[in-house]
Structure 1
Amino acid sequence: MSTATATPQSKRASRHPVDEVLPLPKLAIYGFQHVLAFYAGAVIVPILLASAIGLSTPELIHLINADLFTCGIASIIQSIGFWKVGVKLPLLQGVTFTAVSPMIAIGMAAGGGTDGLLVIYGAVIVAGLFTFFMAPYFSRLIRFFPPVVTGSVITIIGLALLPVAAADAAGGAGPTLDPASGRNLAYALGTLALIVAIQRIFKGFMATVAVLIGLVVGTLVAWALGDAHFDLVGGSGWVGVTTPFHFGWPKFSVAAIISMIVVMLITAVETTGDVFATGEIVEKRIGKEDIARALRADGLATTIGGVFNSFPYTCFAENVGLVRLTRVKSRYVVATAGLIMVIIGLIPKAGAIVAGIPHPVLGGAALAMFATVAVVGFQTLSRVDFHDHRNVVIVATSVGLAMYVTAQPDVAKAVPHWAQIILGSGITLGSITAIVLNFVFHHVGSSRGPAVAGAPGALVRLSEVNEMTRDEFADTFGSLFKGPRWVVERAFDSRPFTDTIDLRRAFQEALFSATEDEQRLLIDSYPDLGADSVAEGEEGPDSLRDQSVLGLTRLDEKAHAELAELTAQYRDRFGFPLVTCVRDRDSFDQVVRTGWERVNNSPAQEHASALVEIAKIAGYRFDDLVADANPIHSARTRFVES
């Protein structure tokens, strides 16, 4: 009887680490760490915007404090949550960099200064409301944002912002711009060099605040040399409350609103990725409703931002990385960080100190951050099949148009006023172009559907797949599985296929419904991890590509011997090779560690595990083979569909 009563009590007492409330000192320390990692990125957006549209220093100080205040509120909403708002994960909110260039274009088109700011706020409020109400439907649109779109957009964001960083590095846009100044060059390169050095020398927490340290040290050096001034700090109050519509009632422009809605759609894709990444880190299942809650929080925070003199909000990827680094999963840590930011936002002196950062120092830090954004875009584009000429056209056209208007902003004057907002922003124009071209090339017309990229210019459409003979089908998709072709041949019997997902499921169904003997023969046909036969190409190009992802085909002698010992012991115990989807692992060490863990499993469990790994390998090969397969959607389907 005591056992019966203890069981429900233990169940009630258990809670997920995400929901754990840590002691107050730990909450304060971990929360402040999040603030430090986040602070530099948080204040750069208002600084860049104020400099570009010609706001005064007191106005900049108010923007910084309003930004921090609203960042804190947004982070509390996202991490604590209420009703159907907030994903209740350790996700810290900040102003999205995606909005910088469009907001500058909106502000300048409206005359700059506070007049431009009011049009920005009008667009931000409407875009926030749009995001809030479209949140439940957004997951249905994920298929329109494959890597060819998101990669292009992220790359464009980074490249389009680099000229802004370069102008700051040269003294700041306007009369202070002096590219020939050796002192400006020294401050910019010195700050950048310090950030790089910290990233190289230190690990962990120090590496996460490298940008902040660079800004602080660069500013202190400039202050010691008389090039940084903090006269306004003494005149600023200790306490100041940002009031709604401080700069006046917002103004609403259709073109500006459309531009900002595009920004929020792109931001929604970014937030979705951050939510899934955080879910994996904290080991919590993510479903459609979680995505909707996160996007509602983004929309509500963005609307609040427009009211309280701030900007569009999204989850900060930097802090997602900090959660992975520290392994502190409690969402209340982020809520504490939000509370700290609210307090900082109520202290005008803090904003005055930040406003005193010299432009060259800021430019040096911005060069590192904005270029990093572009690199993330390159990484995303690496998953795109460029054998499919359609993807080449999408990326080339969107990036080309974005760089065209970024390098020659005056071209916007050649179009009517209502179109100047779109044509005046490289990010907006490039993003719209990528989305539209992806829709036109991959989702419109009779040619819609997957194209098998057997060779550039020789593509097979889904309609043609449905018309293939059994032999033609097996020849086309036989490379998905090693050895016998019965999996592919049985998948043929599931025709016709309605879409790429239907085709993928047919292979999975054939694999898992086979007899145990057939499955065993299939498992036996896969090569050992790190085998010389794979490295020498004897097992075929697909196995070579699979295992070369983590360098298993070019290991040093020590690593090769370690992997050989693992695979030998595994084969001795189970009688078949250790099958692992290398592309699903993060590192060589993880491959080895997981392999040794599997050695202790039962034969039945390892038989099932091998089939699951084979299915994963086939999934990646399928993404390689099918030109417009969506790897992001495929990875998320496991979570969302359930």
Structure 2
Amino acid sequence: MQQQEKHSQSMVLGLQHLLAMYSGSILVPMMIGKALGYNTEQLTYLVSTDIFMCGLATFLQLQLNKYFGIGLPVVLGVAFQSVAPLTIIGQNHGSGAMFGALIASGIFVVLISGVFSKLAKFFPAIVTGSVITTIGLTLIPVAIGNMGGNVPDPTAGSLTLSLVTVAIILLINIFTKGFVKSISILIGLVIGTTLAAFMGLVDFAPVVKAPILHVPTPFYFGMPTFEFTSIFMMCVIAMVSMVESTGVYLALSDITNDPINETRLRNGYRAEGLAVLLGGIFNTFPYTGFSQNVGLVKMSGIKTRLPIYYAAGFLLLLGLLPKFGALAQIIPDPVIGGAMIVMFGFVSLQGMQMLACVDFANNEHNFLIAAVSIAVGVGFNNSNLFNSLPTEFSMFFKNGIVMASILAVALNAILNRKKK
């Protein structure tokens, strides 16, 4: 009886973990798919398979063996930092190059996992804070575009919908706490879409047309192609994700009182690399540890992996039911934009909180590292400065996250070398 109660409690907690990460997991494929002009059927496949792969990636990371898996209650979701680079690659070289770059970067992560576990000193708060701040700031213009419905002359209805969505999310964050607060983005999307339905702005055709069941298909969008600049760009993004995941691993290790060493870090990176590799094969995206789920582990006080196993199972099940994936498509752009503006604001603030822990008073070089990497990352992002360069170079320099990452690591290694 006690065992049954334990499983029932873990099942409910697993559902909470799913809800906490669900909005992030559906927004990223929607953003990339729409930017690349995918049709309704392709978007349904993309979102459904992405949900399925989140479950599979989480399952891989939950393992505790000598080959892969961090063995902590971590949930993996789509990496936000992949949005801009994958969009650029897809627009310039096609879907094949996008997924080919993911396959190559997944193999790269597996190969460097052992070395990377020894390199934490090269990614202090000044580097990670600068990069995560840049990720949020470079994605905010995408949110603004969606708030206006991605049209040249936004209507009053579009702006009203987006602002109401923002207001709902803010009110939930102000007047609630705990689990309800952690799913404020999801609640905002649901209420905003419901309001849009009353305004006649919701098209249910994608849900009606979606099949009842599907199985993720390797190379659904065609065979991968391997373009050097795209691969290099995604390898940089993969390392950014590894740095972000390190923070999640260390936080969960502290919460659960389960110490991790270099070997477990290596196995955690390996599991993440396998997840990215599988994402490329099944034509979805790279995955990283979701920090919002760390808060749920702390809040619930349940420090075992069992609830996360249930969350992974729920994700795998939902990923096989395309009608759930198609639900993401009925959310109007203004509602998505309203949710994005808050979400990416949170991402930016998370980076700023990291920077707040940096010693600026006694180390003036940290000012230079943060100032230059963030300024270049935000300023170069989608800039027309490099339009005259060959496509391979312009798409690299126009990616603010990649530029900020390279600059932050390089400047820190040069300017703070004596500190090390």
TM superposition score category, shorter chain reference? over 0.9
Pick the aligned partner of 1:41 from 15, 21, 24: 24
Q: Post-superposition shift, 1:89?
A: 1.1
Corresponding residue to 1:422 among 378, 396, 416: 396
SS in 2 for 1:140: coil
Could you list the per-position Cα deviations for residues 392-431 of structure 1 after superposition, in whole angstroms to 9, with x for gaps in the alignment? 222221112112222x533232222221231121111111
Q: Is the 8 A contact 2:168 2:188 kept in 1?
A: yes
Correspondences of 1:311-322 after superposition (within 5 Å): 311-322=285-296
Indicate yes or no: 2:78 matched with 1:95: yes
Partner of 1:263: 237
Q: 1:117 aligns with which of 91, 95, 112?
A: 95
- For 1:225, the equivalent position in structure 2 comes to 199
Residue 134 (1) aligns with residue 112 (2): yes
Per-residue CA deviations over 1:59-103 (Å, capped at 9, x if unaligned) read 111100110010010111111344421111110111111111111
Contact 1:86 1:296 in 2 (8 A): yes
How far residue 326 of structure 1 moved from its aligned partner, in angstroms, is 0.7
The answer to whether the 8 Å contact 1:167/1:177 transfers is no
- Give the Cα separation in 1 of the matches to 2:70 and 2:288: 12
Structure 2 SS opposite 1:94: strand
Q: Distance in 2 between matches of 1:178 and 1:362?
A: 18
Task: State the alpha-carbon separation in 2 of the partners of residues 46 and 403 from structure 1.
Answer: 22
Q: Does residue 1:401 correspond to 2:344, yes or no?
A: no
Specify the alignment match of 2:255 in structure 1. 281
What is the rounded CA distance, in whole Å, between the counterparts of 1:441 and 1:289 in structure 2? 30
Match of 2:88 among 98, 101, 105: 105
Instruction: Check whether the contact 1:245–1:309 (CA below 8 A) recurs between aligned residues.
Output: yes
Give the superposition deviation at 1:383.
Answer: 2.1
Q: 2:14 aligns with which of 23, 28, 31?
A: 31
CA distance in 2, matches of 1:274, 1:92: 10
Question: Secondary structure in 1 aligned to 2:220?
Answer: coil
Report the residue type matching 1:405 in the other structure: F
**CA–CA separation in structure 2 for the residues paired with 1:84 and 1:196:** 43
Partner of 2:315: 341
Q: What letter corresponds to residue 201 of structure 1 in structure 2?
A: F
The one-letter code sitting in structure 2 at the alignment partner of 1:396 is A
**1:246-395 correspondence to structure 2 within 5 Å:** 246-387=220-361, 388-395=363-370
C-alpha RMSD over aligned residues: 1.6
> Distance between the aligned counterparts of 1:272 and 1:401, measured in 2?
25
> Residue 488 of structure 1 aligns with which residue?
none
Report SS of the residue matched to 2:284.
coil
* C-alpha contact 1:79 1:332 (8 A) present in aligned 2: no
Per-residue deviation at 1:158?
Answer: 0.5
CA contact (8 A) 2:193 2:202 kept: yes
Moved more, 412-421 or 314-323: 412-421
- Tell me the CA shift for residue 231 of structure 1: 1.2
Maintained 8 Å contact 1:21/1:330: no
Q: Per the alignment, do residues 22 and 440 of structure 1 end up closer, same or farther by CA in structure 2, a change over 3 Å counting?
A: farther
Once the two structures are superposed, residues 555-578 of structure 1 have per-residue CA deviations (whole angstroms, 9 ceiling, x without a partner) of xxxxxxxxxxxxxxxxxxxxxxxx
Q: Is the CA contact 1:21–1:332 (under 8 Å) kept in the aligned structure 2?
A: no
SS at match of 2:118: helix
Letter in 2 for 1:244: P
Alpha-carbon distance in structure 2 between the residues aligned to 1:251 and 1:341: 29
| 1:584-617 superposed Cα distances (whole Å, 9 cap, x missing partner) | xxxxxxxxxxxxxxxxxxxxxxxxxxxxxxxxxx
Give 1:288 deviation, angstroms: 1.2
Distance in 2 of aligned mates of 1:363 and 1:242: 28
- Distance between the aligned counterparts of 2:364 and 2:6, measured in 1? 56
2:175 matched to 1:201?
yes
DSSP-derived class of the 1:414 partner? coil
Residue 311 of structure 1 aligns with an amino acid whose one-letter code is F
Aligned amino acid, residue 192 of structure 2: G
Q: Deviations over 1:163-204 (max 9, x none)?
A: 0111011102xxx3433x211111111101101101111111
Equivalent pair of 2:41/2:210 in contact (CA under 8 Å)? no
Deviations 1:198-245 (A, max 9, x none): 111111111111110000000011011101111121121110111100
- CA drift at 1:440: 2.4
What is residue 65 of structure 1 aligned with on the other side?
48
**Letter in structure 2 aligned against 1:348:** P
Whether 1:164 aligns to 2:147 is no
CA contact (8 A) 1:169 1:364 kept: yes
Distance in 1 (CA, whole Å) between partners of 2:367 and 2:13 is 44
Cα drift, residue 384 of structure 1:
2.2
From the superposition, tell whether residues 357 and 425 of structure 1 become closer, same or farther in structure 2 (CA, over 3 Å).
Answer: same
Q: Aligned letter for 2:73?
A: P
> Which fold has the larger relative contact order, with Cα–Cα distance below 8 Å and residues 6 or more apart in sequence?
2
SS class of match (2:416): helix
Structure-2 separation of matches of 1:394 and 1:248: 41
Q: Alpha-carbon deviations, 1:498-536, whole Å to 9, x = none?
A: xx5xxxxxxxxxxxxxxxxxxxxxxxxxxxxxxxxxxxx
Question: Quick one: which amino acid aligns to residue 399 of structure 2?
Answer: S
Q: 1:21 deviation in Å?
A: 9.6
* Residue 132 of structure 2: aligned partner: 154
Superimposed CA distance per residue, residues 428-460 of structure 1 (whole angstroms, 9 cap, x where no aligned partner): 1111111122222223xxxxx13xxxxxxxxxx
TM-score normalized by structure 2?
A: 0.96
- The 8 Å contact of residues 36 and 87 in structure 2, kept in 1 or not, is answered as yes
Report the CA distance between 1:249 and its aligned residue.
0.5
Amino acid at match of 1:203: K
User: SS in structure 1 opposite 2:77?
Assistant: strand
Larger radius of gyration: 1
| CA–CA separation in structure 1 for the residues paired with 2:220 and 2:183 | 32
CA, structure 1 residues 185+331, in 2 after alignment: closer, same or farther (shift >3 Å)?
Answer: same
Contact 2:44/2:210 (8 A) holds in 1: no
Deviation at 1:301, TM superposition (A): 0.6
- Structure 1 equivalent of residue 414 of structure 2: 440
- Aligned AA for 1:70? M
Letter in 2 for 1:123: A
CA contact (8 A) 2:123 2:409 kept: yes
What is the percent sequence identity of the aligned residues? 37
Letter in 1 for 2:366: N
Matched residue type, 1:438:
N
- Alignment match of 2:158 (pick from 178, 184, 200): 184
Is contact 1:65–1:345 with CA below 8 Å preserved after alignment?
yes
What is the CA-CA distance between 1:369 and the residue it aligns to? 0.6
